[in-house]
Chains A and B, each alone.
Chain A
């Protein structure tokens, strides 16, 4: 893999890492998500720096260019993250439904209690 491409990929990864931790320090993303993205970015960096070993693997699976192997690796990493986000969205949907129901039921209870108090005063 050309040195320029390696440098470019490393620069992108470092820029991305910096951005993740900037957002984490501003509390715009959760620490656990920042850790997950950091871990996966570091894995991509390691893959970029160890092209010699990756060449063996890419030859084994029949991919001619090591750079394509890295892109495939990145694509698989994104699939994993998307799947993890799907589970998070599903959990949040359930949580939001429960919260919505509880808010509505609490409002009803307040209304009933207010009505009872009003009736007693009369």
Chain B
């Protein structure tokens, strides 16, 4: 089984090498585990570090945002016939020990498997009240739109099978795509499962939602995206029918 780890990286000069080396130590039976870093137009030395260390990377000439970077990874996975693609943050928050569990979920028949901080109390991740409150609202909205409860709709640690890789390489939201894509795949009747994972605090850099204004804007934007996604998924349906 060919598995591709998609690592979006924007200004991750301090953590990217540690992330890559943590992935290189992962060995799973009958799985060829490759990785690709998507340098999203970083303005620090991320690109130079990737070049100097002969890392496997794709460099976007301009910053497209998380959605554009991740979609580039899905396009690469699709064109190189990978069986599974796993999103993995470049900032050291995700634990590579859970990669095997995500792949196992896909083998069991899930189309998309999400590493969730809130399924069981495993996480060392100290979530703030506001973060949990935001996550609860998004979970509620997703449940309202799809009838399914997703405990951690903003988790970026997720695995996708070939069907979902094909869907995402054609159509993927550019900004804050995680909750939006969950609604799309659920509406299309794909099987989504969640497994409990531990997440760490980011080892370096700053969250893009550090200020209350940005966090509020994020909530408004994502909530709207969920509702719009639930109301209209014609293009994705056409892609599915084509498959």
Q: Which residues of A contact B (CB under 8 A)?
A: 93, 96-97, 100-101, 103-105, 107-108
Cα–Cα, bound, A101→B172 (Å): 13
On chain A, the residues within 8 Å of B38 by CB distance are: 104
What is the interface of chain A mostly: helix, strand, loop, or mixed? helix
Contact pick for B64, options A100, A107, A108, CB 8 Å: A100
Cα–Cα, bound, A96→B72 (Å): 13
Cα–Cα, bound, A103→B75 (Å): 12
17 residue pairs A–B, Cβ–Cβ below 8 Å = A93-B174, A97-B64, A100-B61, A101-B60, A101-B68, A101-B71, A101-B72, A103-B61, A104-B38, A104-B58, A104-B59, A104-B61, A104-B72, A105-B58, A105-B75, A105-B79, A108-B76
Interface presence of B62 (CB below 8 A): yes
Q: A101-B75, A107-B58 are in contact. List 4 more A-B contacts (CB 8 A).
A: A97-B64, A101-B71, A105-B75, A105-B76
Nearest 5 A/B pairs, CB to CB: A101-B72, A108-B58, A104-B60, A104-B58, A97-B68
Q: Which residues of B contact A (CB under 8 A)?
A: 38, 58-62, 64, 68, 71-72, 75-76, 79, 174
On chain B, the residues within 8 Å of A93 by CB distance are: 174
Cα–Cα, bound, A93→B67 (Å): 13
On chain B, the residues within 8 Å of A108 by CB distance are: 58, 76
Cα–Cα, bound, A97→B68 (Å): 7
What is the interface of chain B mostly: helix, strand, loop, or mixed? mixed
A97 B59 Cβ-Cβ under 8 A: no
Cα–Cα, bound, A120→B31 (Å): 27
Cα–Cα, bound, A101→B62 (Å): 9
- Distance in angstroms from A24 CB to nearest chain B CB is 30
Closest to B169 in A: A101
Contact pick for A105, options B62, B64, B68, B72, CB 8 Å: B72
On chain B, the residues within 8 Å of A107 by CB distance are: 58-59
Closest to B69 in A: A101
Closest to A94 in B: B174
- Among B59, B68, B71, B174, find the residue whose CB has the most chain A CB atoms closer than 10 A: B68
- Distance in angstroms from B29 CB to nearest chain A CB is 27
On chain B, the residues within 8 Å of A97 by CB distance are: 64, 68, 174
On chain A, the residues within 8 Å of B68 by CB distance are: 97, 100-101
On chain B, the residues within 8 Å of A104 by CB distance are: 38, 58-61, 72
- Distance in angstroms from A3 CB to nearest chain B CB is 51
On chain B, the residues within 8 Å of A105 by CB distance are: 58, 72, 75-76, 79
On chain A, the residues within 8 Å of B75 by CB distance are: 101, 105
On chain A, the residues within 8 Å of B76 by CB distance are: 105, 108
- Distance in angstroms from A94 CB to nearest chain B CB is 8
